Amino acid sequence: MAALPPSLWAMTSSPFSSPNAGLIGVPGSRSRLATPCLVLDLKVFTRNLEVMADYAQQNGRGLRPHFKSNKCLEIARRQMAAGAVGICAATIAEVEVLAAAGIRGILLATPIVGSPRLARLAALHAAGADVTVAVDHPSMVAPLARIGAGGSKPLPVVVDFDLGTHRTGAATVAAAIALAGDVAAHPALRFAGVQAYAGHLQHVVAYKEREALGQAAHRRLREVVEGLRARGLPPGIVTGAGTGTHAIDSAADSPFTELQAGSYLFMDVDYDRVELREGANEQPFAPSLFVRSTVISVNQPDMVTTDAGLKRFATDGPMPHVAAGAPEGATYRFFGDEFGRVLLPEGAARLNLGDAVELVTPHCDPTVNLYDEYHVVEGDTLVALWPVDARGLI
Amino acid sequence: MAALPPSLWAMTSSPFSSPNAGLIGVPGSRSRLATPCLVLDLKVFTRNLEVMADYAQQNGRGLRPHFKSNKCLEIARRQMAAGAVGICAATIAEVEVLAAAGIRGILLATPIVGSPRLARLAALHAAGADVTVAVDHPSMVAPLARIGAGGSKPLPVVVDFDLGTHRTGAATVAAAIALAGDVAAHPALRFAGVQAYAGHLQHVVAYKEREALGQAAHRRLREVVEGLRARGLPPGIVTGAGTGTHAIDSAADSPFTELQAGSYLFMDVDYDRVELREGANEQPFAPSLFVRSTVISVNQPDMVTTDAGLKRFATDGPMPHVAAGAPEGATYRFFGDEFGRVLLPEGAARLNLGDAVELVTPHCDPTVNLYDEYHVVEGDTLVALWPVDARGLI
């Protein structure tokens, strides 16, 4: 290989930090951002955060928001400061990141299975991390009890119950109750309650339809709760609920004691179609998360090519929506790994090379998972870079 | 926030490195890997790398493989050692990573537009990086010439020509030739040749159909090449071609002088359906890249849930294929952000909690883009972790 010029050697000594770091606090810097980048509107985000915190409190529910949506410690800290009872995690790596930052009340909502993960949980529990785990199979109770015995307190465990998603969870009321009995029988474990997440209901668009399905799920869940009480095992918490069902699961007769929602912070094209509260005109949350892109080719009629393609958005849901920078009626389509196309309505003004287009993210969680940091803006100014701390960790 | 126990404070002082780093070189360690992780079969990968290097050489073509597929310097170095004339990049950040590692012959295949990117190119050129850039619009020539003037040599520029993908590139033969004239008129620029990438042809399944379309593209491209020669601007390189068209674009009468393929290293479900050489029984490359996952829930009949969902695979293409760890006939489906389901054929043996399932990636480039490192294996042993150096950089 040819020798490297001294000036390039100098470049290698610094990590490849964000090219936008120098713009923090510079008025008008949003328009100067290197793209494609993930932009978080601080004002809208903060309002979303507060609306859900207030809603949970007013309805007598704990809020244990999900870290999997944002993977960002700065956000978890703000949620805790606004009254969250803890933070949910989807992976053991997320738990490690949260615990090392001093977050308490962590709930690993995914049943923990496999020697590598169990070894990491053992280290966390022995180190005093405040982590509750989920179990959905009797064969996992004994391994968890061994981990519990390695800490100064018993390991808290919730029983995961399947409300019909069929992804995880005990499949029957009897199986859930039996599992709770297994957990409670181990002195190194503390039976902490029940988890039940109706993932299949979150995106049912019509409120009334979602409510009816949610209430049917409540009836099944109440059978578990009542069965546990009858066995002398009243659940300390009944945890679940996402952004889609947060209102239904907060109703007076809902068995849920706490909400695990996460996407409400950002909203996205997926959730923005869902009637989140009764009556379509009362959407409580607004999109705060955008991908900012740049027009890089303009040689075709009625469309331009941008620098944000399917490596910069989740592609499992709808298309991103144009939020700003293109004429009314413009639409976005993926155009390969590295490119997007913005289709311009007939007669609309052309876009020029270098113009910026901002897009509402289609599905927020896997979109965030593609980026190393949030570009936090207030109006037209970049005010901070928040790392996506747990991105990609295994 | 509650105080952090001293043992957790200790954990915060170390970065969250791969939980599998301690397994490198341990015989049989593949079966002990923390999952979900990206596994690269070194033997198959190396064979793919060599087959393409030999093919290009035997057909008198340069090979300038695309970095966007793998984003890994270790891989780029191996390609260069096997005779590549350089490396293609899709983003300025990829160019920075390559240049800082001393790679020569870098081609930024995406037209470079926008002040932040141009400033970074200027820094690279002034520092002596060996970078050629693409242009597809006359308004970009003057800004590139200013950058060229800032280095000790002229900046090499290829003219990007649209073969029908309509993504980037001059739209007509006349526009391409005029653009080359603009470039050649600037002493601070060096007209290096033509780029033309037929993205829309790469996945046409039948060889003969793809060949006919490729030959039609060749005819258009030859018009550009002949027009340039007639104007006294013979192109030094004519660069393009992906894994799908590598054989067609290497034919004796093809105008391409070099190939930009990338996916051949890994193959994927998408490309494995494509008849890459004439005659379906002669697939020259084999899948070398897998996602390894763990079964984490087994409470449903005829299916199990794994820990690898739509945050661990590209979701723009087909479903991942089961490669190992599940009975013949088992299929994989996405099951939300964090989960997959493996559907078991009737009468097949059940899978157990903790069992590993490995899957062929559906579309390799955006799958790699989700991971921080390759777990390189030889047989059943982890032999290295290779960083995905340019992942997520903007």
Q: Do A314 and B310 touch (CB under 8 A)?
A: yes
B29 near A115, Cβ under 8 Å? no
Return d(Cα A102, Cα B3) in angstroms, integer: 7
Cα A349 to Cα B149: distance, rounded to the nearest angstrom: 35
Of B97, B111, B166, the CB nearest to A300: B166
DSSP notation for B235-252: -SEEEE--TTTTTGGGST
Closest approach of chain A CAs to the CA of B114, in angstroms? 5
Residues in chain B with CB shorter than 8 Å from the CB of A112 are 296
DSSP summary character for residue A21:
G
Task: Indicate if the pLDDT at residue B257 is higher than 50.
Answer: yes
The whole-number pLDDT of residue A279 equals 77
Element (H, E) at A219: helix A207-230
Shortest distance between the Cα of A295 and any Cα of chain B, in A, equals 8
State the residue for tokens 């032999």: B383
Q: CA nearest A120 in B: which residue?
A: B19
- CA A173 remoteness from chain centre: 28
Residue A2 backbone phi and psi in degrees, to 5: -65, 155
Read off the amino acid at residue B83: G
Alpha-carbon gap, residue A21 to A291, rounded angstroms: 17
A55 to A51, A236, A273, B15, B142: CA distances (angstroms): 6, 21, 20, 37, 56
Residues of A in Cβ contact (< 8 Å) with B375: none
Three-state SS annotation for A48-91: HHHHHHHHHHHCCCEECCEHHHCCCHHHHHHHHHCCCCCEEECC
Tens place of pLDDT for every residue, chain A, 394 residues? 345 566 665 555 444 578 999 999 999 999 999 999 999 999 999 999 999 999 999 999 999 999 999 999 999 999 999 999 999 999 999 999 999 999 999 999 999 999 999 999 999 999 999 999 999 999 999 999 999 999 999 999 999 999 999 999 999 999 999 999 999 999 999 999 999 999 999 999 999 999 999 999 999 999 999 999 999 999 999 999 999 999 999 999 999 999 999 999 999 998 888 999 887 677 899 999 999 999 999 999 999 999 999 999 999 989 999 999 999 999 999 999 999 999 999 999 999 999 999 999 999 999 999 999 999 999 999 999 999 999 999 9
Are B297 and A11 a contacting pair at CB < 8 A? no
B80 has a chain A CB within 8 A of its CB:
yes
- Distance of residue B345 Cα from the nearest chain A Cα, in angstroms: 18
Predicted local distance difference test score (pLDDT) of residue A10: 56
Cβ-based contacts of A23 with chain B (< 8 Å): none
Q: Does A195 touch chain B (CB under 8 A)?
A: no
By Cβ distance, the residue of B91, B298, B334 closest to A137 is: B298
The Cα B79–Cα B57 span in angstroms is 13
Yes or no, beta carbons of B296 and A80 under 8 Å apart? no
Cβ–Cβ below 8 Å for B3 and A102: yes
Statement: residue B3 has pLDDT above 70: no
- What number of helices (H) and strands (E) belong to chain A? 10, 17
- Would you say B52 and B78 are in contact if contact means Cβ atoms under 8 Å apart? no
Q: Is B5 on the interface with A (CB under 8 A)?
A: yes
* Angle of CA points B41, B44, B46, to nearest 5°: 100
Residue B17, pLDDT above cutoff 90: no
ipTM of the prediction: 0.95
Give every CB contact of residue A248 below 8 A, 6+ residues apart in sequence.
A210, A211, A214, A215, A254
For residue B233, the distance in angstroms to the closest alpha carbon of chain A comes to 23
Which positions in chain B touch A91 (Cβ < 8 Å)?
307, 338
Q: How far is CA B207 from CA A274, A352, A369, B219, B276, in A?
A: 45, 39, 37, 18, 7
Q: Are B371 and A392 in contact (CB < 8 Å)? A: yes
- Asked if B108 has any chain A CB less than 8 Å from its own CB, the reply is no
- Residue B171: list chain A partners with CB under 8 A: 299-300
Interface touch A316/B334, C-beta < 8 Å: yes
Residue type, B169: G
Confirm or reject contact between A96 and chain B (CB < 8 A): yes
Query: A392 and B370: CB-CB below 8 Å?
Result: yes
Beta strands in chain A (DSSP E): 37-41, 62-63, 87-89, 106-108, 131-135, 155-160, 189-196, 237-240, 258-259, 289-297, 303-306, 321-324, 331-334, 340-343, 356-360, 373-378, 381-387
Determine the residue of chain B that is closest to A335 in CA distance: B167
Q: Region of B200 please: left (phi>0), alpha (psi -120 to 50) or beta.
A: alpha
- The answer for A357, left when phi > 0, alpha when psi is -120 to 50, beta otherwise, is beta
DSSP state of A168: S
Residue A367: phi and psi, rounded to 5, are -75, -50
Phi, psi dihedral angles at A249 (to 5 degrees) = -80, -5
What amino acid occupies position A17?
A: S
Query: How many CA atoms lie within 13 Å of B51's alpha carbon, on the beta-carbon side?
Result: 23
Phi, psi of A160 (to 5 degrees): -90, 125
How far are the Cα atoms of A126, A153, A217, B225 from residue A106, in angstroms, in the given order?
15, 15, 25, 63
Closest partner CB to B338 (pick from A18, A110, A296)? A110
Q: What per-residue confidence (pLDDT) applies to B42?
A: 98
Disruptive mutation site among A33, A80, A113 for chain B (greatest number of B CBs within 10 Å): A113
State whether B115 and A392 contact (CB < 8 Å).
no
Residues of A in contact with B336 (CB under 8 A): 167, 199
Instruction: Please tell me whether residue B78 adopts helix, strand or coil conformation.
Output: helix
Q: Which residues pair with B107 in a beta bridge?
A: B88, B132
pTM, entire model: 0.95
Asked if A334 reaches chain B (Cβ–Cβ under 8 Å), the answer is yes
Selected residue with higher pLDDT from B387 and B5: B387
Tell me the DSSP string of A99-124: HHTT--SEEE-SPP-SHHHHHHHHHH
Look at B297 and A168 and tell me if their CB atoms are within 8 Å. yes
pLDDT score at A7? 63
Of B8, B111, B296, the CB nearest to A113: B296
Using DSSP, state whether B357 is helix, strand or coil.
Answer: strand
Which residues from chain B sit within 8 angstroms of residue A33, using beta carbons?
Answer: 116
pLDDT for the residue B15: 44
Residue A135 and residue A183 in contact, taking contact as beta carbons nearer than 8 Å: yes
B36 upstream amide cis, omega within 30 of 0: yes
B3/A111 Cβ within 8 A: no
User: Among partner residues A7, A35, A117, which is closest to B127 by beta-carbon distance?
Assistant: A7
Distance CA A140, CA A354 (A): 55
How many CA within 13 A on the CB side of residue B113?
25
Cα of B282 to nearest chain A Cα, Å: 27
Q: Are A356 and A380 in contact (CB under 8 A)?
A: no
Q: Any idea which residue has 């080719």 for tokens?
A: A297
| C-beta atoms of B4 and A102 within 8 A | yes
What pLDDT is recorded for position A14?
43
CB B217 within 8 A of CB B196: yes
A192-225: b or e for each residue (b if 16 or more CB lie within 10 Å)?
Answer: bbbbbbbbbbbbbeebeebbebbeebbebbebbb
Distance from CA of B122 to the nearest CA of A (A): 13
Residue A333 contacts B, CB cutoff 8 Å: no
pLDDT, average across residues B116-129: 96
Hey, which residues 31-50 in chain B have their CB within 8 Å of chain A? 32-37
Local confidence band at B280 (pLDDT 50, 70, 90 cut-offs): low
Cα gap A380→A382, rounded to integer Å = 7
How many Å lie between the alpha carbon of B70 and the closest alpha carbon of chain A? 13
To the nearest whole Å, the CA of A201 is away from the closest chain B CA by: 13
Taking the Cβ of residue B8 and every Cβ of chain A, the question of whether any pair is shorter than 8 Å is answered with yes
Cβ separation B129–A299 shorter than 8 A: no
The pLDDT, as a whole number, for residue A59 is 98
Q: Does B141 touch chain A (CB under 8 A)?
A: no
